[in-house]
Amino acid sequence: MDVSQPIAAPRAAGGDTTDVEVKSVAGELPASLFDRSPVEEAHFDDLDTELVGAFLDAVRERDPSGLGRFGDDTELLRRAGITLPDGQPTVAGLLALGAHPQQWFPRYVIQAAAHPLASDPPETRARNQTTISGAIPRMLDAALLWARRTFDTSIVTEPDGTVHDRLAYPLIAFRELIANALVHRDLDHWSAGLAIEVRLHRDRLVVANPGGLYGITVDRLGRDAVTSARNARLVAICQHVRSPDTGARVIEALASGIPTIAEALVEHHLPPAHYIDSGIRFTAVLHQPTTAAASARPSLNATEQRIYQALTGTAKAVADLEHDLNLTGPTIRKALRALRNRGMVTQLGGKGRPTTYQQTNQ
């Protein structure tokens, strides 16, 4: 697209998404430049002064020899891609630092809701439904607040005897999923009518955003230490954007998000995340453990827990587990022997058939 032409208020969704999906799967989508475009009728005053001030401070502290060497605020914002020479904000500038980006991008929001509980009246359709808007750092803070209010909380005793509240899902994993969705969602016109969606079911948490993976495939997530950004300008800006509530970073851009999620789930005794890329939508699913897995947890180490959960629902070979969990063959075989000795895993195959493993009594 011609980035010299301003982006108008987006049209409703309903374009030729089939063509988008085909091109995405085929790896033929061109580099996205939508985040660099000026926004029609937006002005410098439409930026959030608090967020802009924190951004300028962070850049000058963290990148003093690069972007931070420009002493004039106006020049720094222009060179960062937040504004154009006449002060008009870009798409990336408004989304990251705008006072209310939804004035131009009404569906750049998070639609969050929890499904009814078994104890809710039959007519209940959802709980804690909310629409989260604002600039990216404010949306991220609001999403975490929603999670704290909505996730079930258990009182647990730690090995050292201390008692703590534990949310059903680790906040650090939820934060990584939301941050990724906010900066990597597709900004093309076809996705203008689609929001980021968060759905809390009784047994799983689902986070979905418009646009499939960009420059990487699901099987390489968390295994390749590379960053691939559909919205490169937006990502570059958000590295220096800070939370107005906590001062925390929004993103690191170090390809650490997926490994962080995996580690948090292991520490929380939850199964590995499930990632789905349909080409036009990327979905992450966090699951609650099965009853059998929950009862087995106290006797398992972190590696054994991961392997046991990975065998939920289907039998897998050692090679499958290596691929899914990014563990070595000897480590997996050692854990499988321990699980078999406990009667928790059954070995299948033999007599010419491939050797696979599954949870006992499935």
State mean pLDDT over 92-97: 97
End-to-end Cα, the chain, rounded Å? 53
State mean pLDDT over 258-281: 86
Instruction: Say which range, 75-89, 139-153, 296-310, has the weakest mean pLDDT.
Output: 296-310
Q: What angle do CA 180, 181, 187 make, to 5 degrees?
A: 120
What's the CA gap between 349 and 253, in Å, rounded? Answer: 43
| Cβ–Cβ under 8 Å, residues 283 and 207 | yes
What's the CA gap between 211 and 5, in Å, rounded? Answer: 23
**pLDDT tens-digit readout, 210-234:** 987 776 777 666 665 556 678 999 9
Residue 114, CA distances (Å) to 68, 188, 233, 239, 285 in order: 43, 29, 33, 31, 14
Look at residue 289 and tell me whether its pLDDT is greater than 60.
Answer: yes
**How many Cα atoms within 13 Å fall on the side-chain side of residue 309?**
27
pLDDT at 18: 43
Residue 295, CA distances (Å) to 169, 265, 298 in order: 18, 17, 7
**Residue that wins the pLDDT comparison between 315 and 295:** 315
Domains of the chain (ranges; CATH) run 17-288 (3.30.565.60), 293-359 (1.10.10.10)
β partners of residue 156:
164
| Cβ–Cβ under 8 Å, residues 113 and 130 | yes
pLDDT at 249: 85
State mean pLDDT over 321-335: 89
Residue 233, CA distances (Å) to 12, 51, 228, 240 in order: 24, 17, 12, 12
Taking the model in full, what pTM does it have?
A: 0.73
Look at residue 352 and tell me whether its pLDDT is greater than 70.
Answer: no
pLDDT at 26: 37
Q: What angle do CA 226, 229, 235 make, to 5 degrees?
A: 110
State mean pLDDT over 295-308: 72
CB atoms within 10 A of CB 335: 23
**pLDDT tens-digit readout, 8-54:** 544 433 344 444 444 444 344 555 678 999 999 999 999 999 999 99
